[in-house]
Chain A
């Protein structure tokens, strides 16, 4: 067997038989699935009835606001993709305003702190007749929940709905027709209309599925990132450990430094492909079991594997090279940040890219080779998609970059494995790359 493949086989078998690999293989789906489970459980936990007190200083608004809020709450619970258990049920009580407004708010705040109430809605006397200057702060709410919950959005809509009904009634509109006048219509997000390149037919865009629109792209990207890191990062410490154990010199009469390095990189690639294939198959089986196989991004899977291969090759080679330059695994830890940069930078940009997948930042970053695999895959997976040529151009850059990284890594590795003493600085590593 080819020497590179022999080394790859040995390292691959050692990697996939290691406890760390097996534990990681099981841990990732547990963590990822556990995350969803935790969200689901958290939602269930908050699905108990939440009591809202309404202090109405207009004297006439409370009933209309409560009616609108109850209708909104009922509608939200029936339309939730998580079912009615995902959204809490609100119950309302009207509290008559007291003379000492501040003392009353303190008393109601204490009821919130004790858990008796979830929220206090405080409607100012002028709420029914807002003028330009006094429009703000006419309705306030007090709650103990974080500012990130959706109470504000939901309440604002419901309160304004109730106040509008009241205003219409005061203008003489038949109360029986008011609900019809303020009836909301659903605003639905759709995928773009496309033209079938084969038939020329125009294909109507489908209604966006929130899972397909956000969960699937994020799952693919997290899977890519996690497998790349798990597959590549251990090389850093493992090679430093092998160097410390003086393993390489025994091997160097049989294999060249490049064969050694390439064998290790291919072993990492093999381990990464093994785990990713298992996860992908597992994911598809889960979707099949949930009768959601249509959500599987099958057309993206080839790109996922292409990007995975590019990322693992780049980072594994870099890990092997840096590990070879270190005297001990401890030294290697100080250089770990170099491995994480190509992965972590795109992760910081995920939110911005999800919001503007074809914005200038997303496009520019997706053509920077170290970041291309993560960012381009994310852009491709989002419903907006990317022009057909962009992934190919990105792939061209990634391929050239990967070749350059492997070449540079091999230059470092050939010197690093026989070097002794303290770990070199980055400038010295650059010199190693350029040295004949």
Chain B
């Protein structure tokens, strides 16, 4: 059973196709990560799922029902550019949002969430007196009262300190445990790798990745050498021509990542490197999500040969 089924949706603004013939299926109870560069169509897709925008063509079904413009409390949506009535007091604001979303036992839920996210002491303060992190927690709570069946979070961790981010992450995981389906977008590849069951990448309005992290990485194969040498990166040389079979070198400081071209023999690369420097670590690995993201959305090799 899918929580969200998207079939061939297209959304155009002026002459620009923000989302182009996109299809996607989000299984119920999963955490689905949306990644992609700024302006690639993530937020537009989320807004269409949340019923805020309507596709020009194609269909979106949520829990089997086509979106028709009707609102219900089964979807909680935390937009990227989010704000709340700053002059309201925290508790009143959350109760307002909860009632608006059709909540019945709103006061008890508000109290429980305030307690859980450490805001109980600030319940009667005006929102404008809260720190940015606290405000974001309040916005999160406003999204999850009453508890939705589908939670859509557009960059929920942006601007949060690690402690606040952890508390939101914990809340998301707990909701997933209770059966809630979560769609979240992020620019933090670490979050996508560690938190999401499946990852979807959209680039220039089109789907370019969709699947579990393992399946995505598998499709790229083990084409990456991670190497550490005494003396640092300059011992390897910085020209691609000096390392046959290597099409990209990424200097990460203590570690260098080398991307092998098709047919490249890692043993040959090892021998070449060993002739130049003392190697302390050498491993052939799958590309990270970050690396895959950059391969798709970053400048092409001819545009920037060495990072």
Q: Does A253 contact B (CB under 8 A)?
A: yes
Of B76, B77, B82, B143, the residue contacting A246 (CB under 8 A) is: B82
A side interface size, CB within 8 A: 20
B81 at the interface (CB under 8 A from A): yes
Task: Let me know if B37 is at the binding interface, CB within 8 A.
Answer: no
Q: Is B210 an interface residue (CB 8 A)?
A: no
Cβ-based interface call for B139 (8 A): yes
B1 to chain A, nearest CB (A): 22
Residues from chain B with a CB closer than 8 A to the CB of A7 are 100
The residue of chain A having its C-beta at the shortest distance from the C-beta of B73 within the complex is: A254
Shortest Cβ distance from residue A89 to the other chain B in the assembled complex, whole angstroms: 58
B45-85 contact mask (Cβ, 8 Å, vs A): 1 or 0? 00000111100000000000000010101011111011111
Q: Is B223 an interface residue (CB 8 A)?
A: no
Q: Which residues from A are CB-within-8-Å of B101?
A: 253-254
User: Of residues 82 to 111 in A, which have CB atoms within 8 Å of B's CB atoms?
Assistant: none
Whether the Cβ atoms of B79 and A254 lie closer than 8 Å is: no
When the two chains form their complex, are residues A253 and B96 in contact, meaning their CB atoms are under 8 A apart? no
- Given A6-B99, A255-B100, A418-B53, verify A250-B75 contact (CB < 8 Å): no
Chain A CB within 8 A of B97 CB:
yes
A131 interface residue (CB < 8 Å to B): no
Q: Name the residue of chain A whose CB is nearest to the CB of B86.
A: A245
For residue B56, give the distance in angstroms from its CB to the closest CB of chain A. Answer: 10
Q: What CA separation (Å) do A170 and B291 show in the bound complex? A: 121
Judged by a CB distance under 8 angstroms, whether B87 is at the interface is: yes
Any chain A CB within 8 A of the CB of B182?
no
A253-B71, A254-B73, A256-B69 are known contacts. Are A3 and B83 too (CB-CB below 8 A)?
no
Say whether B52 contacts A250, CB under 8 Å.
no
- Check B75 against A245 for contact (C-beta < 8 Å): no
B9 touches A (CB below 8 Å): no
Whether B142 lies near A250 (C-beta < 8 A) is: yes
Are A254 and B71 also in contact (CB < 8 A) when A3-B100, A7-B100, A418-B53 are? Answer: yes
Known: A1-B99, A6-B99. A250 touches B139 (CB 8 A): yes
Distance between Cα atoms of A158 and B96 in the complex (Å): 73
Chain A residues with Cβ below 8 Å from B76 are 253
Q: Mark A388-423, 1 if CB is under 8 A from B, else 0.
A: 000000000000000000000000000000100000
**Which residues of chain B have C-beta atoms less than 8 A from A242's C-beta?**
83, 85
Contact bitstring A1-23, B, C-beta under 8 A = 1, else 0: 10100110010001000000000
Contact A249/B52 with A14-B87, A256-B69 known, Cβ cut-off 8 Å: yes
Q: Provide the residues of chain B in CB contact with A251, threshold 8 Å.
A: 97, 100
CA distance A316 to B82 in the complex (A): 25
| Chain A 212-248 interface 0/1 with B at a Cβ cutoff of 8 Å (1 = within) | 0000000000000000000000000000001001110
Residues on the A chain within 8 Å of B77, using CB: 249-250, 252-253
Q: Type the 1/0 row for A258-288, where 1 means its CB is closer than 8 Å to any CB of B.
A: 0100000000000000000000000000000
Number of A-B contacts (CB under 8 A): 69
Distance of A381 Cα from B40 Cα, bound (Å): 62
Contact A10 B96, CB 8 Å, known A246-B79, A247-B83, A250-B82: yes
Which B-chain residue is minimally distant from A14 (CB atoms)? Answer: B87
Which residues of chain B are near A253, meaning CB under 8 Å? 50-52, 71, 75-77, 101
Interface of chain B, main secondary structure: loop
Chain B residue nearest in CB terms to A246: B83
Least Cβ–Cβ distance between B62 and chain A, in angstroms: 11
Q: Which residues of A contact B73 (CB under 8 A)?
A: 254
- The answer, among B78, B83, B97, B102, for a CB contact under 8 Å with A245, is B83
B: number of interface residues (CB 8 Å): 29
Roughly how many angstroms separate A245 CA and B52 CA in the complex, as a whole number? 18
Residues 85-122 of chain B: 1 if any A CB is under 8 Å from the residue's CB, otherwise 0? 11110000000110111100000000000000000000
- Min CB distance A427 to B, Å, is 16
B113 → chain A closest CB, angstroms: 16
Name the distance in Å between A11's Cβ and chain B's nearest Cβ: 9
Q: Is the CB of B96 within 8 A of A250?
A: no
Are B71 and A250 in touch, CB under 8 angstroms?
no
Give the one of A242, A247, A249, A252 with max B CB within 10 A: A249
- Once the chains bind, are A3 and B82 in contact (CB under 8 Å)? no
Residue of A whose beta carbon sits closest to that of B142: A250
Q: Are A249 and B79 within 8 A (Cβ)?
A: yes
Task: Give A255 to B52 CA distance when docked, in angstroms.
Answer: 10
Minimal Cβ-Cβ distance residue in B for A247: B83
CB nearest neighbor in A for B51: A253
Residues of B within 8 A of A10 (CB): 85, 88, 96
Bound form: Cα–Cα A10–B87 in Å: 12
A145 vs chain B, min Cβ distance (A): 52
Q: In the complex the two chains form, is B97's CB within 8 Å of A250's CB?
A: yes
Indicate which residue in A3, A246, A252, A259 contacts B81 across the interface (CB closer than 8 Å): A246
Q: Tell me the complex Cα distance, A3–B72, Å.
A: 11
> Residue of A at shortest CB range from B92?
A10
A52 to B301, CA, bound (A): 102
- Let me know if B69 and A6 touch, CB within 8 A: no
B92 nearest CB across to chain A (Å): 8
Give min CB distance, B220 to chain A, whole Å. Answer: 36
Cβ-closest 8 pairs across A and B: A246-B83, A245-B83, A249-B79, A253-B77, A254-B100, A246-B81, A254-B101, A252-B52
16 contacts between A and B (CB under 8 A): A3-B71, A3-B100, A14-B87, A246-B82, A247-B83, A247-B85, A249-B79, A250-B78, A250-B79, A250-B82, A252-B51, A253-B75, A254-B71, A254-B73, A259-B71, A418-B52
Binding site for A on B (CB under 8 A): 50-53, 69, 71, 73, 75-79, 81-88, 96-97, 99-102, 139, 142-143
Given contacts A247-B85, A250-B77, A254-B101, 18 further A-B contacts (CB under 8 A): A1-B99, A7-B100, A10-B88, A14-B88, A246-B81, A247-B84, A249-B52, A249-B83, A250-B79, A250-B82, A250-B83, A250-B97, A253-B50, A253-B51, A253-B77, A254-B71, A254-B73, A254-B100
